[in-house]
Structure 1
Amino acid sequence: MDELTTVREWGTATAPDGPSDQARAAARARLRTAIDEESRSAASRGRVLSRRVVFRASLAGLSAAAVGVAVVVARGDEDDDTPRLSTVSATEVLRRAAQRTRAEGSDLPVPRNDQYFYTQTYITRTPVKGGKTRTWTDESWMSVDGSKPSLREEYGKIHHDPPLGEHEVRWPPTVYSKLQTMPTDPDELLKQFRRVGGDSPKADMLAFMEGCMLMMGPRVMPPGLQAGAFEALSKLPRIRLDFDDVDVVGRSAVGVSYPEANWTFLFDRRTYDYLGLRTKGSVPRKVGKDDWVQSGWYWETRTLQDIRVVDRIGQHA
């Protein structure tokens, strides 16, 4: 079967009237961008794109526009000159990330209550309107059961956290035993995320943010909890792929976000490894006696670089 026949049959089988004008326009725009990018890449290697490669990009782009998914382009391992096109949705990315998390498991020993979790987090912050990127490599030693003082570094500043009080409640929890009590079943976990928003119109957005908060900070996920969280959030109807090409410590990432929420999960485009979180934030500025405004908007990315179970603060291994 030739390629034009494929397109004609696709149009009649998938949608009798064909894609809408808006879908076609969106597909053409993405196609032009893809062709430009591939052409520049090919030119830099002294190669010429074949008609078949260009056609595959156009067919994938048109299909994606019609069914509401995104095209993630990666290069094949065997032939660097041949793009590998894969059509996936935000839902599928989260599900594959959950599968990847379960397959990898954890090589951490089961911690004792008197031990610490040592974490090293790499942070980058770039102004939204452009400018110099700032970086930090923060180290933290968090008491496993919260009964001992912890040392937490944030943006290079040291914080000495006292032991948690007997009835102190934190969300998300930082104490390992409390994280262990959270459900790993995706449906039950999604119910817990949704308790914050209740029946409000923004309940799903708040649930997504709860999932992001669970992953943020120097905390350790018990077995099954991270995978359960990804699967729970994959059930939200409005999650979407972030099309920005994000570099996370030398790895190309695809993001999953939610409308109106300034939080994005970042995953490796090839392996679906969870790489970290990207957030949009600002610096509050006082403009009156009791008035503040948000200014200096920035993009921030957090990546967990290392995690170990140690016996004392200051120990790395």
Structure 2
Amino acid sequence: MRDIDELRELRDFDTGAPPLDDETRRRVRARLRAATDGPPAPVRHRRPVLRIALTAGLAAAVAAGVLVAVRDDDGTRTHPTAKPPATSAPAMRNVSAQTVLKGAAAYAREHERTVSPRDDQFIYTKEIIKETEQKTGVTKSYVDENWRSVDGSKRSWVMEIGKGWWSPPLQKGVSVWPPQDWGTLRKLPTDPKRLILSIANDFGGRGTSLDDLSDEDWSQVHFSLAGLLKLVPVMPDGLRPAAYEALGMVPGVKVLPGQKDAKGRTGVAITYDDPTLPKGVTDFTGYFIFDPVTYRFLGFRDTRTSGNGAAMKKYTQLSYLDGWAIVDRVKQRP
């Protein structure tokens, strides 16, 4: 029935209705192609092993030193404000996810610091996490400080919700996503479409056009882009804006106004409805929260559980990056 509705949208498009957005047009073309090309390809039920955890902190399984990524855009530094794509918060009621993420990309291009760390250095990050148990309403705050080896050849110090441990160097021949070493990050495309295809092809796709990507491909692309944006605090010039714009091209990405960040500021959030999951089942529940006028990135919202059965507790986590720097030694603060 949904396919029929989408065909009707195409029919209406030719009779003076408002133009379809890129996401809807791409999804309709993909479904039409699938209907004419024969049986769909087998569904991939498992993602490749990415060794990342899309939560507000780090999972212990991430032994190679992947860090939580939230930009240092909390207002502590003084700088000129980018020309905002929107002019008032009320306009956010009708704004699209693509508009927000293009605005975030424009803001990042103007304000991000360009750095070129040496392989023997470390990337230091200081993250603030506020965690509220949903049943009791009790809130606790944590300060996580991380030192990640730039080229992955040295052990790193990582923290999750106030607890830290030594992460061993990345083993030869081991591939992780998102990339942890600066050399690999620098090789990622800074054109949004090429970045999407690069990710899709790395994880089993063979497409040369965005129209070739299936729902399963798009689900993997979203998972990978979200991990890149959240878990890599410092990127080569142009990569973060490209990742924002690429995220805006993913079908199922949507905007939610009126979301609070860790500092109590009201922003607009970007989240994702995965079309490959059964109705009512959620996979990625995190929100990227942006300023509703400038689209400056404010922080991240996610959920976490602990315990099992009746003893299970569920938490809402709000996080932001308080600062980052390039340093010469582990445990050295800027």
Flag whether TM exceeds 0.5 (same fold).
yes
Does 1:305 find its partner at 2:322?
A: yes
- Distance in 2, Cα, partners of 1:97 & 1:182: 19
Does 1:212 find its partner at 2:235?
A: no
Q: Which has the higher contact order (CA 8 A, sep 6+)?
A: 2
- Distance in 2, Cα, partners of 1:156 & 1:222: 28
Distance 1:202 1:264, change over 3 A: farther
Q: What does the per-residue CA deviation read over 1:196-250, in whole Å, with 9 as the maximum and x for residues that have no partner?
A: 4856644323322211111223642111111001111111232211234213324
1:103 aligned partner: 110
- Distance in 1, Cα, partners of 2:165 & 2:315: 23
What amino acid is aligned across from residue 289 of structure 2 in structure 1?
L
1:173 aligned partner: 179
CA contact (8 A) 1:116 1:313 kept: yes
Q: What does the per-residue CA deviation read over 1:102-145, in whole Å, with 9 as the maximum and x for residues that have no partner?
A: 111315x4211111111101112223445112221100111111
CA contact (8 A) 1:238 1:258 kept: yes
Q: What does the per-residue CA deviation read over 1:269-308, in whole Å, with 9 as the maximum and x for residues that have no partner?
A: 22211223222332252x6xxxxx9942322222111110
SS of the residue corresponding to residue 88 of structure 1 reads coil
CA contact (8 A) 2:130 2:140 kept: yes
- Distance in 2, Cα, partners of 1:267 & 1:181: 27
- Distance in 1, Cα, partners of 2:181 & 2:249: 27
Aligned length: 234
1:89 aligned partner: 96
Distance 1:240 1:173, change over 3 A: same
Does 1:139 find its partner at 2:145?
A: yes
1:235 aligned partner: 249
2:130 aligned partner: 124
1:205-284 alignment, distance < 5 Å: 205-217=219-231, 219-259=233-273, 260=282, 261-284=284-307
Instruction: Give 1 or 2 for the bigger CA radius of gyration.
Output: 1
Distance 1:229 1:284, change over 3 A: farther
What amino acid is aligned across from residue 299 of structure 1 in structure 2?
T
TM-score (norm 2): 0.63
What's the RMSD between the two structures over aligned residues?
2.7
What amino acid is aligned across from residue 251 of structure 1 in structure 2?
R
Gap runs ≥5 in structure 2: 1-15, 19-85, 206-212, 274-281
- Distance in 2, Cα, partners of 1:194 & 1:226: 18
SS of the residue corresponding to residue 188 of structure 2 reads coil
CA contact (8 A) 1:150 1:161 kept: yes
- Distance in 2, Cα, partners of 1:136 & 1:313: 20
What amino acid is aligned across from residue 183 of structure 2 in structure 1?
S
1:265 offset after TM fit, Å?
Answer: 1.3
> Which range is displaced more, 228-237 or 209-218?
209-218
Does 1:160 find its partner at 2:166?
A: yes
- Distance in 1, Cα, partners of 2:106 & 2:320: 20
1:316 aligned partner: 333
Which of the two has greater strand per residue? 1
2:4 aligned partner: none
Identity %: 34
Distance 1:170 1:179, change over 3 A: same
CA contact (8 A) 2:258 2:266 kept: no
1:187 offset after TM fit, Å?
Answer: 0.3
Distance 1:274 1:254, change over 3 A: same
CA contact (8 A) 1:125 1:134 kept: yes
